């Protein structure tokens, strides 16, 4: 996946930069990108895109005077695919934003376009206390046999969703709800575009889950957050409206052990992903 | 563990050197090794494994990971389902973990440092040339990357920008309360979420500062040592070349002379000339010195060359670094005018020896006296500062 996009101007100044996942040696990378741009100004690439390996990354670069474009992707990525996406972004920039950049004006609207092309992986985190039905929800989404006993998740279980939404692979992070794993939550929701907070719809559990909503707002303020009022088949269940009121986020009903909820749930997540994109555009 | 010393002749045949070889018994080797990188999108990615058929399930990976979240220890021993695992995670390599599956008969206790050193080497190599990392050879030959030396800890300060800034402040003030430093730094870098403990850490770990609560009042940070980085002449290496390698010794001396005392009108390198202009060549050169010492592989090769000229092979064997990395590093050192190459003899030697030394910041004493008289510094803190400086510098002078 594309990890970073850097556009440098005439004197090696950074005109635009965006990073998609925390890379450990960020400052070293930026330093490298700047000196790469400096070096490229002395050779003529004839507007071709070239690439080179750097540790675990692959760096793609091209020059369209006066701009140098540098993209950082994973070494394991399909290079042709990255180059194609890079080509699209370069074209949009040159057509609609180059003049603004040259005049030192803000590049309004560029970020959203970049996201649309560069984000090929959507992270959806499923958060909630032990036994509320997170893993069951994951299996339901993947169309797998539904577990009827509670086999607690250890740490996190990460699975892909076969569906594609806007060219994006959806990765589901099913976080363990047991309290001994709570130290992982804050770090593991990092970079999630959507966070689903699952409750079992009992009053006690929903009240406790308010804390999870605050955690998410604090750690990933740009993520789209939705609530799930699960176990609606049980007599103790609060209505989804009531659960939503308490949590303070849009909440949907669910019976995760009932396969007939599958399509509805998929639509909800699709919508959340799209809305998440819109919201980050607005911000 | 069995142990013996091998005696070998080097390629020139003129010198004999010896180094110890640890022969590791099969039952003491871990059954499997994994290098894992945590990725915000894809989770745990096993980047390398040995043997290639070994597997580590998601649950085990999670449990190793969680244990490190709970505490600060770099190395941990786990007992999961009657199997023992060792895992290594370090602040130096965020997101990376090395996991070992131990054999039933392995005695782990005495090998802690070994596992720590091997893990450090694996992760350091992963950062520069992941393809070339040979886990089997590392565990078989017990190759390790040593802990940061004192010099490296000093160099590290300059690679933590806020710490370097804080050092500059202390060079003006001598002693200051942690709170005041925090305030000053926040002002300098224009944010309010500074973790002053993290900023002070490199200074503390290198012995440059001391932190103490004075009379139950404020937490004070004292500057005990100031730092000086320069290029020293490679004295030991020159002497050994003269004694054992007469065929290169004259040329070698010539190279060193050219750098330090060339024929006039050229001026040689003189680190004691005071530097007033911020961009004077010496200042830049000092940064180079810090850079080379800070980088693990550069430093290991530099250290290996400090006693005498050596071939790439000899350095590789002595340091346990793969030959291609040694060659790369030597190339870098050559372009930095640290190493020179004797092509016919296939030998490398130091032409300058980057060195970091500390010295007593006595220049600060008048400032301290002035600050006390202006009531800007607590008398107790000043008295304690003098005492600390004396304790630090009276016995052994480093
Ligand atoms: N009655 C009913 N039971 C459900 C429903 N959804 C899940 N369960 C049951 O709740 C139990 C726990 O489900 P899991 O999905 O394993 O719970 P979890 O949230 O993943 O728990 P942790 O992994 O420990 O955090 C299982 O026995 C499920 O069969 C539901 O809608 N109704
Ligand atoms: Mg679960």
Look up residue B310 and give its DSSP letter. B
State the pLDDT confidence band at B266, using cuts at 50, 70 and 90.
low
The neighbourhood of ligand 2, an ion, using CB within 5 A, equals: A 134-135, 153
How much is the average pLDDT of A117-141? 93
Is the CB of A153 inside a 6 Å radius of any atom of ligand 1?
A: yes
Residue A151 CB contacts under 8 Å (≥ 6 apart), including other chains: A135
Chain A residues with CB-CB distance to B128 below 8 A: 55
Query: Is residue A231 in contact with ligand 1, taking CB distance under 6 Å?
Result: yes
Q: Do B94 and A155 touch (CB under 8 A)?
A: no
Query: Phi then psi for A46, rounded to 5 degrees?
Result: 50, 40
State yes or no: pLDDT of B195 exceeds 90. no
| Sheet with A194-199, edge to edge strand ranges | A156-165, A168-175, A121-127, A194-199, A224-229, A251-253
- Range name among A161-165, B80-84, B93-97, B179-183 with the lowest pLDDT average: A161-165
Could you tell me if A171 lies within 8 Å of chain B, comparing CB atoms? yes
| pLDDT tens digits along B66-118 | 999 988 899 999 999 889 999 999 988 889 999 999 998 888 888 899 999 99
**A200 burial type by CB count under 10 A (0-12 exposed, 13-18 middle, 19+ buried):** buried
What is d(CA B89, CA B120) in angstroms, rounded to the nearest whole number? 9
Residue B186 corresponds to which tokens in the numbers above? 């926040």
Q: What is the mean pLDDT of chain A?
A: 88
Is the previous residue joined to A66 through a cis bond, with omega within 30 degrees of 0?
A: yes
Ligand 2 center to A236 CA (angstroms): 21
Residue of B nearest to A158 (CA): B43
Q: Which of A225, A162, A161 lies closest to A197 in space, CA to CA?
A: A225
Write down the pLDDT at residue B19. Answer: 44
pLDDT beyond 80 at B150: yes
User: How high is the pLDDT of residue A221?
Assistant: 92
A235 lines ligand 1 (CB under 6 A): no
CA of B232 to the centre of ligand 1 (A): 68
Inform me whether the pLDDT recorded for A73 exceeds 80.
Answer: yes
Instruction: Report whether CATH 3.30.2400.10 matches the domain A2-118.
Output: no
Query: What does the block give as tokens for B265?
Result: 């009108």
Is residue A54 less than 8 Å (CB to CB) from chain B? no
Asked whether the beta carbons of residue B63 and residue A155 sit closer than 8 angstroms, the reply is yes
Mean of all residue pLDDT scores within chain B:
85
Per DSSP, the three-state class of A202 is coil
Question: Which residue's C-alpha comes closest to atom 8 of ligand 1?
Answer: A133
Q: What is the pLDDT of residue B145?
A: 87
Q: Please report the ipTM that was assigned to this predicted complex.
A: 0.80
- Same-fold call for A2-118 versus A120-282: no
B12: pLDDT strictly greater than 70: no
Does the pLDDT at position B11 exceed 70? no
**What is the pLDDT, as a whole number, of residue A280?**
57
CATH number for the domain running over B152-225+360-393 = 1.10.10.10
Average pLDDT over residues A175-197: 95
| SS3 of residue B272 by DSSP | coil
CB contact under 8 A, A184 and B58: no
pLDDT for A279: 61
The proportion of chain B whose per-residue pLDDT surpasses 70, expressed as a percent, equals: 87
CA of A9 to the centre of ligand 1 (A): 54
pLDDT band at B17; cut points 50, 70, 90: very low
What is the residue extent of each domain of chain A? 2-118, 120-282
Min Cα distance B131 → chain A (Å) is 9
Asked if the domains B26-140 and B152-225+360-393 are classified in one and the same CATH topology, the answer is no
Tally helices (H) and strands (E) across chain A.
Answer: 9, 11
* For the CA of A149, the nearest ligand: 1
Q: Do B41 and A24 touch (CB under 8 A)?
A: no
Q: Is the pLDDT of residue B25 over 60?
A: no
Question: Looking at the domain B229-357, which fold is it?
Answer: Arc Repressor Mutant, subunit A (1.10.10)
Query: Helices marked H in B104-215 — which ranges?
Result: 112-128, 135-140, 150-156, 161-173, 178-189, 196-205
With a pLDDT cut of 70, the percent of chain A lying above it is 92
Interval between CA A178 and ligand 2 midpoint (Å) = 9
Instruction: Write down the domain spans for chain B.
Output: 26-140, 152-225+360-393, 229-357
Q: What is the CATH number of domain A120-282?
A: 3.40.50.300
Q: Which of B43, B69, B129 sits opposite A158 (nearest CB)?
A: B43
Rounded Cα gap, residues B184 and B180, in angstroms: 6
Domain formed by B26-140, architecture: 2-Layer Sandwich (3.30)
pLDDT value at B390 more than 70: yes
Q: Of A20-24, A251-255, B90-94, B310-314, which range is least confident? A: A20-24
List beta partners, residue A73: A2, A58
The answer on pLDDT for B280 being more than 80 is: no
- The CB of A139 under 6 Å from ligand 1? The reply is no
């Amino acid at each position: 996946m594309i990890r970073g996009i850097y556009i440098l101007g005439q004197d090696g100044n950074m005109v635009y930069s965006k990073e998609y996942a925390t890379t450990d040696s960020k400052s070293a990378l930026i330093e490298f990108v700047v000196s790469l741009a400096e070096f490229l100004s002395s050779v003529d690439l004839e507007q071709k895109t070239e690439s080179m390996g750097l540790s675990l990354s692959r760096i793609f670069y091209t020059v369209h005077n006066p701009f140098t474009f540098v993209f950082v992707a994973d070494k394991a990525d399909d290079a042709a695919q990255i180059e194609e996406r890079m080509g699209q972004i370069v074209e949009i920039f040159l057509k609609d934003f180059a003049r603004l950049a040259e005049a030192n004006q803000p590049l309004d609207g560029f970020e959203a376009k970049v996201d649309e092309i560069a984000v090929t992986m959507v992270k959806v985190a499923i958060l909630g206390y032990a036994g509320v039905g997170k893993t069951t929800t994951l299996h339901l989404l993947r169309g797998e046999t539904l577990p009827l006993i509670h086999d607690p998740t250890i740490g996190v279980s990460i699975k892909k969703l076969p569906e594609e939404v806007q060219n994006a692979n959806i990765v589901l992070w099913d976080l363990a709800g047991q309290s001994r794993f709570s130290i992982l939550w804050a770090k593991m929701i990092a970079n999630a575009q959507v966070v689903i907070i699952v409750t079992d719809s009992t009053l006690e559990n929903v009240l406790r889950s308010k804390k999870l909503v605050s955690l998410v707002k604090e750690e990933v303020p740009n993520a789209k957050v939705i609530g799930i009022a699960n176990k609606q088949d049980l007599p103790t269940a609060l209505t989804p409206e009531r659960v939503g009121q308490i949590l303070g986020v849009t909440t949907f009903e669910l019976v995760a052990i009932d396969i007939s909820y599958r399509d509805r749930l998929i639509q909800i997540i699709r919508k959340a992903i799209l809305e998440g994109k819109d919201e980050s555009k607005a911000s | 563990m069995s142990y013996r010393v091998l005696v070998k002749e080097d390629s020139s045949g003129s010198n004999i050197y010896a180094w110890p070889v640890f022969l590791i018994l099969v039952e003491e080797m871990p059954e499997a090794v994994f290098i894992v990188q945590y990725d915000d999108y894809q989770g745990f990615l096993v980047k390398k494994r040995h043997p290639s058929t070994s597997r580590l399930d998601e649950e085990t990976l999670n449990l190793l990971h969680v244990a490190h979240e709970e505490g600060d220890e770099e190395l941990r021993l786990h007992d999961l389902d009657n199997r023992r695992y060792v895992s290594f995670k370090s602040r130096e390599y965020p997101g990376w973990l090395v996991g070992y599956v131990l054999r039933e008969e392995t005695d782990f206790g005495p090998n802690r440092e070994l596992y720590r050193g091997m893990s450090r080497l694996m992760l350091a190599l992963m950062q520069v040339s992941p393809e070339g990392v040979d886990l089997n050879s590392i565990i078989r030959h017990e190759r390790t990357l040593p802990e940061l030396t004192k010099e490296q800890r000093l160099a590290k300060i300059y690679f933590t920008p806020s710490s370097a800034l804080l050092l500059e402040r202390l060079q003006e003030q001598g002693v200051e309360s942690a709170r005041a430093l925090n305030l000053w730094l926040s002002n300098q870098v224009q944010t309010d979420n500074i973790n002053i403990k993290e900023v002070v850490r490199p200074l503390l770990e290198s012995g440059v500062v001391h932190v103490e609560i004075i009379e139950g009042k404020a937490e004070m940070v004292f500057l005990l040592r100031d730092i000086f980085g320069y290029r020293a002449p490679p004295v030991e290496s020159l002497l050994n070349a003269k004694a054992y390698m007469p065929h290169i010794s004259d040329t070698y001396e010539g190279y060193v002379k050219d750098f330090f005392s060339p024929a006039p009108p050229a001026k040689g390198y003189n680190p004691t000339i005071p530097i007033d202009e911020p961009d004077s060549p010496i200042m830049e050169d000092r940064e180079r010195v810090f850079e080379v010492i800070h980088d693990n592989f550069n430093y290991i090769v530099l250290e290996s060359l400090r006693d005498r000229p050596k071939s790439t092979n000899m350095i590789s064997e002595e340091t346990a670094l793969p030959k291609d990395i040694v060659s790369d590093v030597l190339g870098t050192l050559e372009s930095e005018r640290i190493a020179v190459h004797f092509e016919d003899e296939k030998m490398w030697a130091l032409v300058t020896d980057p060195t970091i030394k500390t010295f007593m910041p006595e220049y600060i004493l008048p400032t301290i006296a002035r600050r006390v008289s202006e009531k800007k510094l607590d008398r107790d803190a000043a008295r304690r500062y003098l005492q600390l400086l004396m304790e630090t510098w009276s016995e052994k002078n480093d």
